[in-house]
Structure 1
Amino acid sequence: MAHVVAVLALPPVVGFDLAIPPQVFGTAERDGRPLYDVRVCGLEPGPVATTAGYALHLDHGREALAAADTVIVPGTHYVPARRDGVLPPEVHSALATVRPGARWMSICTGAFVLAAAGRLDGRRAATHWARADELRRLHRDVEVDEDVLFVDDGDLATSAGLAAGIDLCLHVLRRDHGAAVATEVARHLVVAPWRSGGQAQFIERPLPADDGGSTAPTRVWAREHLADPLDVAALARHARMSTRTFARRFRAETGTSPHAWVLAQRVARARHLLESTDLPIDRVAADAGLGTTSSLRAHLAADVGLSPVAYRRTYRASPRAS
């Protein structure tokens, strides 16, 4: 039985955000079998206004929430949540039908709804960087992080603005069913299966005036040489910059440090090799640039909570049940 995803549209909903979960989860399949049953719903079936000046007709009402394994709230200008940080009784009662143990997600300003419902109290969460201060003001118990594309906290996942919802949904798909499935969906959508860095790279701020050139060619080169030593000095040498200039330029362009970026690329490479090859674990670790089996085990456990053997068994030989 497919995993049920309920996407709750509170008016006026951001149409771009609302379209992301059906596109990502709705196109995910294995051996021709859909992995998710995506149901876009309102509090009642019928029309719901969008921020773009058109309305959508929804086939599902709150009954979709009661059936959901995952509930996603896309971005919205819903006044009670956005202006006052509260939800009216009818929304609280609808959300109360969600079964215990269900996964909660938000895209962009959908985080305001989850916060108003008390779901983000004491938790770290993302929203659009331009709305981060508003969320902090309304909900002081929420740890708002405006620098990341998304926050995955197990049963709770929140994304930054707009297209970061694609990053979050692909990440959750990757976590549920492995990199191969997520990559295939990303190819279908013609988007990158993984964007490095955070939304800090999109916040308008002046770049250092003395930093000529871009680190993009070096990032392409580094992905092709993950098995080689890739410290900041090596990366800067390839970019023909000083290490200080390179590190500053790299963070300005990607929102993260060279070390963190390289590590993320290596873990992603190791996951791909575990899923798509029969290479021994020590060879996977070496080819991905992680060095030893113990290093691979530690980084994979931190990333997905599985050992290399368990990861390969779960995502290659025995797909996770929906």
Structure 2
Amino acid sequence: MGRRRLRHHPHPHRHRPPLRSPPPGWLRFATSQDGNFLAVDTAPARNGRPGQIIGTGRDYDEGPAYVADSITSLLGHHLELLDQGTYEKHGDHISLLEPDCDPAPQQIIGDIPDEVPPTLQAIHINNATGLVDLAPLTAAPNLRRLHLNRSTTADLTPVRELPVESLRVALDDGDLTPLAGHPHLTSLDLTTIVPVDLAPLRTVPHLRGLDLSRADVPAPTVLADLTNLRYLSLTGRQWATLLNEGKVPPTLTAARLADTEATLDEALAWAARLGLNTENALRVTGTHETAGG
């Protein structure tokens, strides 16, 4: 897989490129002067450990990557490499060599690999032919992001035992039962081939974001029971059902009308029914991009 080099510079603060400030709780302490940093994470997400070391910066568009459980562990590992002589000197700096290190185990874009690295944290499965078997992903106990893009699966059971926080999936059988009570799931983007029962989502304690605009949902009024939901994306027909029945989730802070053909007047009428002030509404189009670090 090639070797990753960790460079130690005697003057880490010289010629540093200007970057945005890190989020509160990320204490940067090292850089390769390429826009990437190591940081102490003092406010980790669920399953994280305060004081863990993460990689952040220019090349971490999908979010930070886990590096080590502490500075002590990281420095201990580096001392082991020095003791073993697995380093190279280049003028005034040293490159530590890690021949057995996967250069990017935290993210895979494409198909599920034959051997799933246990350090895998994010995977995007694109344009898969046939149904995707998610079972091999149980070999990745730190998997946080699982996105099936233009790909379909028939069984979410493997997700039950994984700390997945962000799930995007096209589901062949419409069975959400494996997600019942999932302790980590915060965001679900669901596409279905057949009608889906949303009842299992009632017991997902931290579900904050939900996109059902590509799902066949016969009974969307169940959404009123999702009292922690903050973001909801639906079609105009789905929204109409909720509004007509008075079943809009009570804690929403953001909503999306997913009908691409909706006129501005229709969108304003929808917003008004949600109780929004549309007097000074503006129409804006564009693309919003985010980057970790």
TM-score (norm 1): 0.28
Higher helix share: 1
Relative to its length, the structure with more strand (as a share) is: 2
- TM (norm. structure 2) is 0.30
